[in-house]
């Protein structure tokens, strides 16, 4: 069914599998204290200096053999990156200048990317930056769904919810980035709000809702049943109302829930080690989850710095990561293993011996619940579409 195939395929990202992802951790500060945030060491003290950023850019553009991808995504992250919008603006200008001066292949194939809590989106400085870089820019605003869910988790330091402040920015954002997606995180306490939150976000005009459950060890007995119940109800609403024609939710994916294919399913889940995160003092990390403000049990894990360059010996273990190398036998033999995710940084954080090769499997029951709900959803959708008409 051509229509079903179209609905089942996830939306590809820009230059998917072709772009190098390079992340500047411009600040470790944030206005919010989201209860599920993995950044356990938020602080106002560490911010990136422009000189550090320039040195990192010069090294990356000079070492074309190490950064040989045909395209690049320059990502700015925090904490909350828009707290440093002036710095981001100057870094972006420097990147564009150096791409031109060096005749770099990325000059015609780059993108700037930011994910923000949205609180500063309407700031005139942010709007000037958007206007200047609009044709090479992606911005995502994180809003968690209905007010009850959002304000349960995404709170100011004094405990106040941030829904009203964030929702006020959505109309401008969606006018400027009409195809933009939001990212929703699910933890134990907000499981009852999943269905209503997805429908609410679609109603606000956000056509693509990307959702993930937290990877940490926070799940309680019965949470998988709650997740499944919410997804079954959401599936009924999508199919009965024909919402699949216009909207997407990443929890429904027809590619998950199959046995592993030894020939094609042995890659690492994420890009840890293939991407590059740059800390405030110019340290290089395999991703932001290995930076100091992400760590509570283990030491940060650097793979070089902007002065001395990449340390290939420290980077090599990350490049050798595969699914089979880090998964326990029961995961390899699992009959619904495809699509079951993990976080490399959490694997390291939770490991017994500070290894990146010990996979954390706390989300196992939640993945199984998702697979059951997916089978229900796709079966209902196939029967409704029949001969392939939407």
Structure tokens at 364: 């196992």
The whole domain housing 388 covers: 224-233+251-270+323-390
Domain C-terminal end among 282, 305, 322: 322
Task: Based on the fold, state whether residues 292 and 261 are members of the same structural domain.
Answer: no
213, 186 Cβ separation under 8 angstroms:
yes
Q: Is residue 218 part of a domain?
A: yes
> If phi over 0 gives left and psi between -120 and 50 gives alpha, with beta otherwise, what is residue 34?
beta
Q: What is the spatial distance between Cα 237 and Cα 202, in angstroms, rounded to a whole number?
A: 12
Structure pTM? Answer: 0.93
Does one domain contain both 212 and 341?
A: no
The whole-number average pLDDT for the span 18-25 is 96
Q: How wide is the angle at C-alpha 139 spanned by C-alphas 318 and 200, nearest 5°?
A: 105
Based on the domain organization, do 366 and 337 belong to the same domain?
A: yes
Mark whether 213 and 360 lie in a shared domain.
no
Spatial distance between the Cα atoms of 295 and 313, rounded to a whole number of angstroms:
22
Residues 126, 32 share a domain: yes
Residues 211 and 180 in one domain: yes
State the Cα–Cα distance between residues 73 and 86, nearest whole angstrom. 19
| Per-residue pLDDT at 10 exceeds 80 | no
Question: pLDDT category, 295, cuts 50, 70, 90?
Answer: very high
Q: Please state the φ and ψ torsions of residue 349, each to the nearest 5 degrees.
A: -60, -35
Confidence of residue 1 (pLDDT cuts 50, 70, 90): very low
Place of tokens 């690492």: 268
Tokens representing 95 are 């990147």
Residue 12 clears pLDDT 80, i.e. is over it: no
Identify the domain boundary among 307, 322, 337: 322
Pairing between β-strand 284-285 and β-strand 276-278 as defined by DSSP bridges: antiparallel
Question: What's the structural domain count of the chain?
Answer: 2
Helix axes 124-133, 85-101, angle to 10 degrees: 20
- Kindly report, residue by residue over 64-123, the tens digit of the pLDDT: 999 999 999 999 999 999 999 999 999 999 999 999 999 999 999 999 999 999 999 999
pLDDT digits (tens, 9 = 90+) for 343-369: 999 999 999 999 999 999 999 999 999
Q: Which residue, among 227, 270, 261, has the nearest Cα to 374 in the 3D structure? A: 227
Q: Using pLDDT thresholds of 50, 70 and 90, give the confidence band for residue 4.
A: low
Note whether 246 and 133 are same-domain residues.
Answer: yes
Residues 112 and 194 placed together within one structural domain of the fold = yes
The 3 state secondary structure assigned to 279-300 is CCCCEEECCHHHCHHHCCCCCC
Do residues 136 and 281 share a domain? yes
Same domain? For 198 and 145 the reply is yes
**Residue 201 pLDDT exceeds 90:** yes
Mean pLDDT of the 17-28 span? 94
The residue whose two tokens read 């919410």 is 230
Residue 47 lies in a domain: yes
Are 260 and 369 found together in one domain?
A: yes
Residue 266 domain-assigned (yes or no):
yes
Is residue 5 a part of any domain in this protein?
A: no
- Whether residues 311 and 356 share a domain: the answer is no
């Amino acid at each position: 069914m051509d229509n079903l195939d179209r609905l089942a395929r996830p939306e590809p990202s820009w230059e998917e599998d072709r772009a190098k992802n390079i992340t500047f951790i411009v600040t470790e500060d944030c206005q919010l204290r989201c209860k599920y945030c993995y950044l356990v060491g938020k602080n106002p003290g560490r911010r990136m200096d422009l000189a550090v950023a320039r040195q990192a850019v010069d090294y990356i553009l000079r070492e074309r053999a190490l950064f040989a991808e045909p395209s690049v995504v320059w990502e700015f992250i925090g904490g909350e990156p828009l707290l440093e919008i002036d710095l981001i603006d100057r870094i972006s200008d420097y990147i564009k200048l150096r791409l031109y001066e060096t005749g770099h292949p990325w000059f015609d194939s780059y993108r700037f990317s930011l994910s923000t809590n949205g609180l500063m989106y309407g700031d005139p400085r942010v709007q000037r930056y958007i206007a200047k870089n609009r044709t090479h820019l992606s911005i995502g605003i994180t809003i968690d769904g209905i007010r009850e869910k959002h304000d349960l988790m995404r709170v100011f330091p004094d405990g106040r919810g941030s829904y009203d402040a964030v929702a006020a920015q959505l109309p401008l954002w969606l006018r400027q980035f009409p195809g933009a997606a939001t990212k929703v995180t699910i933890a134990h306490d907000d499981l009852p709000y999943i269905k209503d939150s997805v429908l609410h976000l679609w109603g606000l005009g956000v056509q693509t809702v990307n959702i993930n459950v937290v990877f940490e060890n926070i799940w309680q007995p019965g949470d998988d049943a709650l997740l499944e119940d919410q997804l079954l109800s959401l599936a009924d609403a999508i199919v009965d109302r024909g919402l699949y024609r216009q909207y997407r939710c990443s929890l429904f994916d027809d590619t998950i829930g199959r046995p592993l294919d030894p020939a094609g399913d042995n890659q690492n889940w994420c890009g840890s080690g293939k991407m590059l995160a740059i800390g405030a003092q110019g340290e290089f990390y395999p991703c932001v989850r290995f930076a100091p403000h992400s760590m509570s049990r283990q030491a940060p894990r650097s793979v070089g710095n902007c002065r001395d360059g990449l340390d290939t010996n420290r980077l090599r273990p990350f490049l050798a990561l595969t699914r089979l190398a880090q998964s326990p036998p029961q995961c390899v033999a699992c009959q619904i293993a495809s699509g079951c995710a993990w976080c490399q940084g959490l694997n390291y954080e939770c490991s017994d011996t500070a290894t990146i090769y010990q996979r954390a499997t706390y989300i196992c029951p939640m993945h199984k619940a998702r697979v059951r709900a997916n089978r229900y959803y796709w079966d209902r959708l196939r029967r409704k579409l029949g001969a392939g008409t939407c």
